[in-house]
Structure 1
Amino acid sequence: MLSASARPVIEATLPLVGSRIGSITPLFYSKLFAAHPELLNGTFSRANQRNGAQQQALAGSIATFATHLVEHPDTLPETMLSRIAHKHASLGITEEQYQVVYQFLFEAIAEDLAEVITPEIAQAWTEVYWLMAHALIKLEKGLYERRLNDVMWSPWTLAERTQLGPDTVRLTFTPADATAVTPGEPGGYLSVRTAVADGLLQARQYTLSGDAASVTHRTITVKRDADGEVSPQLHDALAVGDTVELSNPYGDIVLEETDRPLVLATAGIGSTPSASILHALADSGSEREVLVLHADQSPESWSLREQMLADLARLPKASLQLWYENPGDDAAALPGFMDLSAVRIPQDASVLLCGPTPFMKAARSAAIEQGVSAERVHYEIFGPDVWLASA
């Protein structure tokens, strides 16, 4: 992978670059958006720029990729690359944009490391960048080729909206034109692009929480983010009959075709991928062993409760354990936060986690401690993957 000349340079400079990447990435984004402000109109999330999540995720991915090249020179970090490629495809990232990113990223590196950078260091890190970029370009081309159409965004009309709680709404869209519809996969997501309060286009990813494979409609479940821009718009301004733009469906954490036991461990709105997977299993008459573990504030705050309970009832080998901070009259639920030490997880199970990052980290550790192979513990994270940056 890395050339013979680049590998010792990366190995020697990785601690330095790793310690400075957190300051390099904000500088990169400031340069990028100063030269290309149009990228904030429908591609990059303005909210994730403000809160620093995107900078942190980019820093984590670069450091993780470079470290992998040094420690495992004959392979690539495929799981990380797949996650990034699906997210990029859902936003319409193009091959040409990688050259733009390279220009401003390396301007930022040269400026931040001006006192130590040499031509040899610059060349070695250029090699790292293009190894990662070319791997992503290849994956994204493959994802684009799976579409049944050649458009990034197509118009969809809101056909139905159902309030599931004070801060959660289910939205069902139907096609607004004749664009061929690409079926989704259970657990997958799509991007919604809409104008926000000041007219700027913003895109966010939402799980297909109903029948993911449907070509007649798309259903998503949206929890209001008080600090967000898109979810308040979908809650407060989007009415039945209005039209928004949707991407084709993507997502690397989807239902596997296997008979292996499945554990779905979620918290809060993280139940949306589980709901889609359960629905697909129930519709197929699956006899797979499924263990659903969910934590929430209360029975009323579990947004997809009715859908998931109905689908669980159709699965002969499915079981459920709940944790509520405020259980109310639900005698079957355990009080407080999820504790996997009290749950027997089959060692040959596939485990899917979704929820706040601290929850997923604790659940992953608990599953591995019970003997589940780390490669079979998967997680879905909403927004930039800051887990990589803090690992």
Structure 2
Amino acid sequence: MTLPVIGAHIGVISEVFYQKLFAAVPSLRTNLFNRSNQANRTQQQALASSVASFATLLVTREPSDIDAIMARIAAKHASLGVTADLYEVVRTHLFAAIVEVLGDAVTPQVAGAWNEVYTLMANSLAEQESQLYQDAGVTDGRVWRQALVAAREYDGSHSATLFLRPLDGKPFRNHRPGQYTSVRIRFADGTEQIRQYTVTHGRQSGEWALSIRRVRGGLVSSILVDKVEDGDQLAVSHPFGGVVIDNDDAPLLLISAGIGVTNTMATLQHLATYNPGREMTIVHVEKSAYEHARRIEFSTLVKALPNAELFLRYTDYDGMHDDGRNPLTRVPLPTDAHTYVCGPVEFMRSIRLELISAGLSPASIHFEAFAPGSWLGLESEQTPVP
């Protein structure tokens, strides 16, 4: 059993790996990987968690479970335009890091076992990403197109909504409620950074709307909120993401906090057109009405859905109980509901515990989280998701 040999050192290995990778291919550090996540070490932690979780699943679960778990990462990679050749670059520097950290402990048996783990993981991701590109009707990695900022409006004290139209006049690809697009920003020094934002419908047919909240110290969000103007152009990707609302008729429970409201907005827009009579319970938590992005449109959509019940909670939140109140108090929770949650990670963890305590099945509770490694522990009690 070689899992403990590398698993015990995977955090250090991840650090050394990124040092080697970025030294060999500097553009990956400046243009592809999130610089903020590199600085606060969450990128390194996410890699360690991903590899360790995948290896654990190989020896503890059915192989058929693995592709579903990799689907989140594959969708994120597709939105970045990652292609299969990158996995061989990663393999080279990952195994160089393993040898540097573990030295003689890397026996042929250990090296062979972990090479197999990496190959299975890389193949799973590459195959799913290739299928995503095929479904999008694009060549592998060719996901980018130019969009015109048709309008922008401040949306609360820390947010803005950008209304985008295709620059070439060809309609945007239809998105499913809950999918996201990547936005690529070029800086004055020629380097780039990419971030993901939930896609919602704009005010006109064929228009996308992206609502962005300024992140403290954020390299991209501050530009999108404060500097992008009408008439500017942005590079955006095709829509990706598998945490989408199903087409079932089962009751829906939609829970959001902060800018996570955009996932709920996308769902409400979709249901208003395709299934307005679906039963749904909506809970949104925000610091104040002034902070509530898309507040008027949100309220208008809810009122137009005859079987929708809304619970607004305007209060400070970092975790669910910071002010001594539970946002789910006095909210009827149908135990057969399909539940979708989007917000700060600690908020989602707290909500999950409350929902399971109320009798909802862990398998029926779905989460959207964009921070690297933040899916861990959210999908179910039994299955870690890297």
- Tell me which moved more, 70-79 or 355-364: 70-79
Cα deviation for residue 273 of structure 1 reads 0.7
Cα deviation for residue 196 of structure 1 reads 2.8
Counterpart amino acid of 1:358? E
Cα deviation for residue 271 of structure 1 reads 1.0
Unaligned runs of 5+ in 1: 1-8, 328-334
- The aligned residue for residue 26 of structure 1 is 15
1:156 to 142, 147, 170: 147
- The aligned residue for residue 218 of structure 2 is 228
- The aligned residue for residue 70 of structure 1 is 59
- The aligned residue for residue 249 of structure 1 is 239
Counterpart amino acid of 1:282? A
Cα deviation for residue 362 of structure 1 reads 1.1
Q: Deviations over 1:270-317 (max 9, x none)?
A: 111111111111122421111111111112111122121111111111
Matches within 5 A, 1:1-391: 9=1, 13-150=2-139, 151-177=142-168, 181-196=172-187, 198-210=189-201, 216-325=206-315, 337-340=325-328, 342-388=330-376
How many pairs are equivalent? 372
- The aligned residue for residue 381 of structure 2 is none
SS in 2 for 1:254: coil
Counterpart amino acid of 2:87? Y
CA RMSD, 1 decimal:
2.2
Counterpart amino acid of 1:246? V
Give the whole-Å Cα distance in 1 for the aligned partners of 2:129 and 2:87.
12
Give the whole-Å Cα distance in 2 for the aligned partners of 1:338 and 1:383.
24
Cα deviation for residue 179 of structure 1 reads 5.5
Maintained 8 Å contact 2:13/2:98: yes
SS in 1 for 2:127: helix
Query: What's the % identity of the aligned pairs?
Result: 39
Unaligned runs of 5+ in 2: 318-322, 379-383
Counterpart amino acid of 1:162? E
Give the whole-Å Cα distance in 2 for the aligned partners of 1:64 and 1:97.
21
Give the whole-Å Cα distance in 1 for the aligned partners of 2:69 and 2:43.
15
Q: Deviations over 1:331-369 (max 9, x none)?
A: xxxx76544354331111111111111111111111122
Cα deviation for residue 208 of structure 1 reads 0.7
Maintained 8 Å contact 1:263/1:349: yes
Give the whole-Å Cα distance in 2 for the aligned partners of 1:110 and 1:386.
28
Q: Deviations over 1:156-183 (max 9, x none)?
A: 1111001111210000111112566321
SS in 1 for 2:136: coil
SS in 1 for 2:8: helix
Maintained 8 Å contact 1:181/1:215: no
4+ runs deviating over 6 angstroms: none
